[in-house]
Amino acid sequence: MSKLIWMVMSGMLAVAVLAMCAPCTAIADDDNEEAVAIKDLPKAVVEAVMKALKACPGCTLVSAEKETEDDGIEYEIKVKLKCGKVVEVEVEVAKDGTIKKVEIEDEDEDDDDDDDDEE
């Protein structure tokens, strides 16, 4: 009998977890972010990333996302450096196509910052 109760409780827990995740999925879908193939990135964005990382020859663009905003588009590009470290480069592009801002974020530093906030 206790095995049957355990199975029923496990099933109910699984349903509860799935129900809690459903709103999270809906929220993520509302975001204006979408994956972009590296080959589909605008040339100006790729050039801005390479210029920002000019001190790191041999880097590889790994993945990219774009987010449409009121004043233009923001690209988030993950870049693997020759040493194996991964950084994220954010490129803000105005509606007229001009590059407004390029910022490099260290993925490891972001993780460390998150840990500090929790303490």
Give the tens place of pLDDT for each residue, 28-47.
344 678 999 999 999 999 99
Domain borders along the chain are: 1-30, 32-118
**Burial environment of residue 83 by CB neighbours within 10 A (0 to 12, 13 to 18, 19 or more):** exposed
**pTM (predicted TM-score):** 0.63
Give the tens place of pLDDT for each residue, 31-89.
678 999 999 999 999 999 989 888 778 889 999 999 998 889 999 999 998 888 899 99
What radius of gyration, in Å, describes the C-alpha atoms of the chain? 21
Please spell the DSSP secondary structure of 33-69, one letter per residue: EEEE-GGGS-HHHHHHHHHHTTTSTT-EEEEEEEEEE
The dihedrals phi and psi of 23, each to the nearest 5 degrees, come to -65, -35
Beta-bridge mates of residue 47: none
